Structure 1
Amino acid sequence: MREPLFRTRDEPSPLPDFCSLPVLFTLLVTGALAATVVWLAAGNHRDFSGYSVGILFVTWLVLVLGVMLCLLRAWLQRLPGHLPYIAAWLLIMPIVGTASWVAHGLDESLRMGLLSDGATTFVFDNVLIAALLGAAILRYFYVAAQWRLRLAAVTRAQVEALQARIRPHFLFNSMNTVAALIPVDPAAAERTVEDLAELFRAALGQHEQGDGTLGEELALLDRYLAIEQLRLGERLRVQRELDDLPPGFPLPRLLLQPLLENAVRHGVQPLREGGVVTLRGERRGDAIVIEIANPLPSSPARGGNGHGLDSVRRRVAFRYGPRAAVQAGPQGERYVVSLQLPLENKESGDARLDRR
């Protein structure tokens, strides 16, 4: 089963994936810095061979630690409260002690003379350094996990606020459209009510939590446009170029609908002659790009505050990480919002915790 996107306050923070490249890189950098500090503190700055051996030993030690903690992560994660981090810290010391004892034994057996200290001193010093550095790095991972959980909670609150808010003018206009259609075209009125019901079901969070799909979001956009088409008539013209998009691509719910609503409200509605809203999508390398473009009126429509676009930016950054981008601005006589979303996402804990 997939892990829930949002944990309760009493749930422990997840341990990092010690086999992932970002975590291993962090451990390697920390170990290399520690070895460099010890080498500099020794005062023999010309002993580059000893420094090279120290870096090699630290690299091997970090890989051993990473593999061991990765194999034990599932067991550690089942411990309650903060015990996963405490148990991981306690495991570091015997692993480092055993590896140090083995390294010292190999140095003596091969008579390389790389280690001048006795076995006891060498093992004790390494265990002490590992205990201090392990506590610091695990504290860093814990704080980072707590920050991601808080970010998830904030994002969840923003999504719930977005889902709970239906713009009154859209609701009233839609109901007026239904009332006007009932005596002249009951079938169209019924379709409009069904479309409006689907929009409300999505906006009020009746679906399961987590991602939807691009296909579901595009179907929701069609229902929204069908309602606005009845209200605006020939003033609203829609151009679709979406054939290259994968319908099963995971997409946060109600991500595109606010952008399309802004395009209709601020781009088409203020113009007496109306205009064309363009929905365009394509694959670009390992990402998909979705663009929503609308005419740019000479004077901006009242009521725009940019909150919808800011919310989309935050949700995209949280869901897809730094590889994603949202760009918006005028291009000639049109206003274009462009979303670049990676086809392959990085590990959940680093960008989204759900991933979902």
Structure 2
Amino acid sequence: MQAAREPVEFLPDFCTGSRVLHVLLVCEAVAVVLALGEADPAALPRRLLLLSVYLQWIGICSAAALCLVRRHAGHLDARGVVALAYLILLAVTFAITEITFVAGRYAGFSPLFGPAGHLAFVARSLGICAVVAALALRYFWLRSAWRQHARAEVQARLEALQARIEPHFLFNSLNSVAALIAARPAAAERALEDLAALLRARLADDAPDVVALADELVLVEAYVRIEQLRLGERLTLDFDIDPAARGCRLPALMVQPLVENAIAHGVARLPAGGTVGVAAGLRERMLVVRVTNPLAADAPAAPGNRQALVNIRRRLALRYGDTARIDIARDEQRFIVDMQLPQDRPDS
């Protein structure tokens, strides 16, 4: 499956107008460079015009050829696509060069041929094409490799973030469940169910990558119930969720780590505890989520707080690019995290 998808990722989509425009701009830049080599300044405008028409023709036909390669070369691996694209670009250049030489005598393109004749004109055109095509394909190759490496690196960090279970949280949860078994067996059973739901969401291979906000809030409530076994009445949860936002889609395990952060670095560090607030709304096709927790004015910064937020920011960047954001603010009493995610992007 991967071998069939790789060419699509390797070559840009030259079937789009923006890509064709980029190709034409590159061809025009080459035309300007070649025209500047004209010894007679008076002939420069005409030579630039002829080179522009000639090279733009090659550029349009090359973009069309690469469009077809991208669509119909899915059975080849990346190296096969490189070789096929390179040969096709040379063939397109050769064909247009031959047509230009044959018809150019009647269309005014003879100044491009020079005194050396047919073979020199063809060899010069193919040589320039060979260099430019090799540089372009090499760039596409390196860009694809870099993107795949970046995706793999971020995906590995994402999986590590999702799979990481804080040992103290796990031990405390199991100890709390053990203490409840004899006195409150129903509560112990519920706590085990909550713990199983969290472990399944973090560790299961078939866990969904994108979920509805309502499903994410179920995990948040499960996590808070487990932490309440340890913190008791010191921990309360305040939901303020717009009904329109409950069906919004977001990456799995995006809100729950923020609540975990708020409890571990906020409520749990205060003798009197406090309330973790989770608010969500839909504004102009953006899901806006806010998580707040009380902040002790004299408490030092807790380790791990910043790294968790950095990991979440990287997950947002991987899926949404610059269209999603996470902002952090604090005052004398509260630590505030605001997260915005677009809702007009397909889940895939």
The two structures share one fold, judged by TM-score above 0.5: yes
Change (3 A) 1:223 1:29: farther
| 1:319 maps to amino acid | R
| 1:309 maps to amino acid | L
* SS state at 1:187 partner: helix
Partner residue, 2:223 = 224
**By how many angstroms is 1:286 displaced?**
5.2
Count of residue correspondences: 337
Partner residue, 2:210 = 212
Q: Which has the higher helix share?
A: 2
Does the aligned pair in 2 maintain the 1:313–1:326 contact within 8 Å?
yes
Q: Report the Cα distance in structure 1 between the residues aligned to 2:291 and 2:40, rounded to whole angstroms.
A: 63
Q: Report the Cα distance in structure 2 between the residues aligned to 1:162 and 1:187, rounded to whole angstroms.
A: 31
Change (3 A) 1:331 1:301: closer
Q: Report the Cα distance in structure 2 between the residues aligned to 1:90 and 1:224, rounded to whole angstroms.
A: 58
**By how many angstroms is 1:17 displaced?**
3.1
Partner residue, 1:320 = 320
**By how many angstroms is 1:100 displaced?**
4.1
Partner residue, 1:243 = 243
Does the aligned pair in 1 maintain the 2:93–2:129 contact within 8 Å?
yes
Partner residue, 2:32 = 36
1:68 is the counterpart of 2:104: no
Partner residue, 1:352 = none
Q: CA RMSD in A?
A: 3.2
Q: Report the Cα distance in structure 2 between the residues aligned to 1:320 and 1:169, rounded to whole angstroms.
A: 33
Partner residue, 1:138 = 137
Partner residue, 2:340 = 340
| 2:31 maps to amino acid | A
Change (3 A) 1:158 1:126: same
Change (3 A) 1:85 1:229: same
Does the aligned pair in 2 maintain the 1:97–1:124 contact within 8 Å?
no
Q: Report the Cα distance in structure 2 between the residues aligned to 1:196 and 1:21, rounded to whole angstroms.
A: 52
**By how many angstroms is 1:171 displaced?**
1.1
1:1-356 matches, within 5 Å, as: 14-18=9-13, 19-20=15-16, 23-24=19-20, 26-42=22-38, 47-48=44-45, 50-51=47-48, 54-55=51-52, 57-80=54-77, 82-102=79-99, 108-109=105-106, 111=107, 113-118=108-113, 120=118, 122-208=121-207, 211-215=209-213, 216-234=215-233, 235-245=235-245, 247=247, 249-251=249-251, 253-285=252-284, 287-298=286-297, 299-300=299-300, 302-304=302-304, 306-331=306-331, 333-344=333-344
Does the aligned pair in 2 maintain the 1:279–1:291 contact within 8 Å?
yes
Q: Report the Cα distance in structure 1 between the residues aligned to 2:343 and 2:123, rounded to whole angstroms.
A: 48
Does the aligned pair in 1 maintain the 2:220–2:256 contact within 8 Å?
yes
- What per-residue deviation string (whole Å, max 9, x for no partner) do you get for residues 203-253 of structure 1? 223325x722233433322322232344434432323334333635252x3
Q: Report the Cα distance in structure 2 between the residues aligned to 1:39 and 1:333, rounded to whole angstroms.
A: 68
Greater CA radius of gyration, 1 or 2?
2
Change (3 A) 1:310 1:105: same
**By how many angstroms is 1:90 displaced?**
0.8
- TM-score by structure 1 length? 0.80
Does the aligned pair in 1 maintain the 2:242–2:280 contact within 8 Å?
yes
Name which structure has the greater RCO, CA cutoff 8 Å, separation 6+. Answer: 1
Does the aligned pair in 1 maintain the 2:51–2:112 contact within 8 Å?
no
**Structure 2 gap ranges (5+):** none
Does the aligned pair in 2 maintain the 1:13–1:145 contact within 8 Å?
no
Does the aligned pair in 1 maintain the 2:267–2:275 contact within 8 Å?
yes
**Structure 1 gap ranges (5+):** 347-354
Q: Report the Cα distance in structure 1 between the residues aligned to 2:37 and 2:8, rounded to whole angstroms.
A: 36
- What per-residue deviation string (whole Å, max 9, x for no partner) do you get for residues 94-146 of structure 1? 1233344445666555x4x2551349455543332222111101101101111
- TM-score by structure 2 length? 0.82
**By how many angstroms is 1:59 displaced?**
4.3
| 2:95 maps to amino acid | T
Q: Report the Cα distance in structure 2 between the residues aligned to 1:105 and 1:345, rounded to whole angstroms.
A: 51
